């Protein structure tokens, strides 16, 4: 079984599903496409929300049984997957390539941290 190929395929299938949901929910209704910078800023905002969840320890309002940091990180991944699918960026392939590349890099990639 080829795990690498299956991983990329799984990512692309989930990205397609996420994008379809976002289209259905009206996030792509403006007719001219979405602003790339705004979309990346929204990804960043989810990371900031993860940091705040870590700082406060408050449960998520919608999914209180889940780790709140994980919920916000999931939101970030969802935004990334939606963006990549919409603009035909092969995210699964990019992840596989980066993991393979990083395997050959030196300890901490030659940096302090």
What is the value of pTM for the model shown? 0.89
Q: Over the stretch 45-93, which tens digit does the pLDDT of each residue have?
A: 999 999 999 999 999 999 999 999 999 999 999 999 999 999 999 999 9
Q: Over the stretch 21-49, which tens digit does the pLDDT of each residue have?
A: 999 999 998 766 789 999 999 999 999 99
For residue 113, pLDDT over 90 is answered with no
Contacts of 9 (CB under 8 A, 6+ apart): 92
* Boundaries of every domain in the chain: 34-92
How far is the C-alpha of 50 from the C-alpha of 45, rounded, in Å?
9
Q: Quick one: average pLDDT of 9-18?
A: 97
Q: Is 18 exposed, middle or buried (0-12, 13-18, 19+ CB in 10 A)?
A: buried
**Is residue 83 within 8 Å of 46, Cβ to Cβ?**
no
């Amino acid at each position: 079984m080829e795990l690498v190929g299956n991983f990329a395929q799984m990512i692309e299938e989930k990205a397609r599903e996420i994008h379809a949901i976002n289209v259905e929910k009206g996030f792509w209704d403006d007719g001219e496409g979405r602003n790339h910078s705004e979309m990346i800023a929204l990804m960043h905002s989810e990371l900031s929300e993860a940091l705040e969840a870590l700082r406060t320890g408050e449960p998520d309002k919608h999914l209180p049984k889940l780790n709140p940091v994980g919920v916000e990180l999931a939101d970030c991944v969802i935004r990334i997957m939606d963006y990549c699918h919409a603009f035909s960026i092969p995210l699964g392939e990019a992840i596989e390539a980066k993991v393979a590349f990083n395997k050959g890099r030196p300890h901490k990639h030659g940096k302090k941290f």
